[in-house]
Amino acid sequence: MTYEFDFAAVLAYWPLLLEGVWTTLRLTFFCTVFGILIGAFCAVVRTSGPRWARWIVGLYVEFIRNTPLLIQAYFLIFGIASMGFRLPIMVGAVIALTVNIGAYTTEIVRAGIESINRGQLEAAECLGLSKMQTYLHVVIRPALERVYPALSSQYVLLMLASSILSSVGVEELFGISNRIQSDTYRNFEVFVVLGVLYLIMAVVVRAGFSVLGLALFPRRRKLGTPL
């Protein structure tokens, strides 16, 4: 074997790599926030909305979950561009990723909502809580707490999958590394560095989610067991 590894040449681009890491994390953050909002809303509609709305949400969920993210991104981002709208690429990326993760979130949260006992609703009703209050405090909150572990792994996967958006020109970590490849021709080393960076980010983001979980759910903080 004669190949000589040259990681130094790749690591010399650390400011660029750091910028990519930052962009990936920002992308993940925005999509997490919007994804949870959309997912929670659609899950409520799916479980207790009017018939037609349930049907539409069902269609959305099935369609997104049974087609690749790459095609969804092409469809949305090139599609929007073809209609003459000039969106900043980051906005397009957030839209594509949010549409995608929203469907997965819907399914996860729906499972959480369906796990809530009917007696809970009855108790809330008898205490005089309105439908809205019941949903917010007695259904959504414990449902989110219950599915939180599943949600956080889904969002770690989202972070990894955001690399796919490099193909539409988003300069997140994977996309920005193309520049290093074409500058140094050290493709393999670049991929090794990327792999290590993503592994670290996955660990960090996962840790972030569990800290957030402790902050959001006092019960979990105190008892340490899942709901």
Partner 1 sequence: MNWTFFISLLWGLWGTVVLSLLTFLFGGIAGFLIAIARISPVKTISMIAAAYIEFMQGMPLLVLMGLCFYGPGIFGYDSLTPLQAATFALTLYASSYLGEIWRGCLQSVAKPQWEAAECLGLTRWQRMRTVILPQALRIATPPTVGFMVQIVKNTSIASLVVGYAELSYNAKIINNSTFQPFLYFGIAALMYFAVCYPLSVQSRALERKLNVANR
Partner 2 sequence: MSPIVELKEVRKSFGAIEILKGVTFEVNKGEVAAIIGQSGSGKSTALRCMDRLETIQGGSMRICGHRLEDEKVDLKALRRDVGIVFQSYNLFPHLTVAENVMLAPRLVKGTRRTEARQIAEAVIAKVGLREKMDAYPEQLSGGQQQRVAIARSLAMEPKLMLFDEVTSALDPQLTGEVLRVMEQLAKDGMTMVLVTHEMGFARKVAHKVVYMKDGRVHEQGTSDILRTPSTVELADFISEAAEH
Interface with partner 2 (CB under 8 A): 117, 119-120, 122-130, 133, 137-138, 141-142, 145, 217-219, 222-223, 227
Residue 22 binds what, of partner 2, partner 1, none (CB under 5 to 8 Å, by partner type)? none
Instruction: Give the residue with the Cβ less far from partner 1, 35 or 175.
Output: 175
Closest distance to partner 1 from the beta carbon of 165 (Å): 10
Residue 122 binds what, of partner 1, partner 2, none (CB under 5 to 8 Å, by partner type)? partner 2
Closest CA to 97 of 169, 177, 155: 155
Closest distance to partner 1 from the beta carbon of 13 (Å): 16
Residue 116 DSSP label: S
Instruction: Give the residue with the Cβ less far from partner 1, 100 or 134.
Output: 100
The encoded tokens of residue 84 equal 């003459």
The label of the residue with tokens 């190949």 reads 3
Closest CA to 58 of 43, 71, 72, 68: 43
The encoded tokens of residue 226 equal 């899942």
The encoded tokens of residue 219 equal 């019960």
Spatial separation of the C-alpha atoms in residues 79 and 72, rounded to whole Å: 10
Instruction: Give the residue with the Cβ less far from partner 1, 14 or 75.
Output: 75
Residue 137 binds what, of partner 2, partner 1, none (CB under 5 to 8 Å, by partner type)? partner 2
Q: Residue 213 is which amino acid?
A: G
Instruction: Give the residue with the Cβ less far from partner 1, 44 or 168.
Output: 168
Q: Under a CB-based contact definition with an 8 Å cutoff, are residues 56 and 42 in contact?
A: no
Closest CA to 155 of 122, 202, 194: 202
Closest CA to 93 of 16, 17, 168: 168
Instruction: Give the residue with the Cβ less far from partner 1, 14 or 188.
Output: 188
Residue 86 binds what, of partner 2, partner 1, none (CB under 5 to 8 Å, by partner type)? none
Q: Which residues bind partner 1 (CB under 8 A)?
A: 1-3, 62-63, 65-72, 74-75, 78-79, 81-82, 160-161, 163-164, 166-167, 174, 187-188, 190-192, 194-195, 198-199, 202-203
The label of the residue with tokens 């991929």 reads 191
Closest distance to partner 1 from the beta carbon of 68 (Å): 4
